[in-house]
Amino acid sequence: MNLWDFFQEQLLWQVVGIVVPLVMTAAVGWAAVLYTRVTGKTLDEKNRLALQSALDNGIRWAIQQLLAGKLSPEGTVPAAKKDAVVAKATEYVRSSVPGAVDHFKIGTATMDKLVTAKLPIGGPREPGDVLIGKVGEVKP
């Protein structure tokens, strides 16, 4: 082996030592981007968080709007008012996060179930009543 061959071999290994890690990093990055595009994990997570927040806020807003001063002395919401709360909360959710609603293709029946599940529920006083109380407060 002459000096020129030795020099070429050393240069080749130095170039390979730089290029291979760069190529591997690019390949791993590309695979991560492809995985995210195929599964939609990041988008689903953002939309899920936005939807959950809107559901919580929608229920609070609807209760404040519809039931201010209209609770029974026991702090229950009559069943007749529950439908109005669900309707207002649904309206709030659909207007505040339309992208998340469209992303998950949430129809009317599903939205009603999601909103109803967020209603503050305690031990019902009468069939259909929903208990409203302060955080940490236990109604006997």
Domain match, 64 and 97 both: yes
SS3 state at 130: strand
Quick one: which of 127, 86, 79, 128 has its CA closest to 109? 86
Give the residue numbers spanning the domain of 64: 40-135
Nearest CA among 88, 113, 105 for reference residue 77: 88
CB-based burial label for 137 (10 Å; 0-12, 13-18, 19+): exposed
Number of structural domains found in the chain = 2
Per residue in 105-131, pLDDT (tens digit) is: 999 989 988 888 887 654 445 555 554
Q: Let me know if residue 79 belongs to a domain.
A: yes
Q: pLDDT digits over 59-106, tens only?
A: 887 777 665 655 455 555 566 677 777 888 888 899 999 988 998 899
Q: Check the CA dihedral 133-135-137-140 and report its sign.
A: positive
Q: Output the pLDDT for position 75.
A: 52
**Residue 78: inside a domain, yes or no?**
yes
Q: Report pTM.
A: 0.51
Q: Give the least confident one: 5-9, 15-19, 65-69, 95-99.
A: 65-69
Q: Is residue 140 part of a domain?
A: no
35 and 102 belong to one structural domain: no
Residues 29 and 98 in one domain: no
Asked if residue 31 is part of any domain, the answer here is: yes
Residue 40 binned pLDDT confidence (cut-offs 50, 70, 90): low
76 has which bridge partners? 131
Other beta carbons within 10 angstroms of residue 119's beta carbon come to: 17
Whether residue 48 is found in the same domain as residue 68? yes
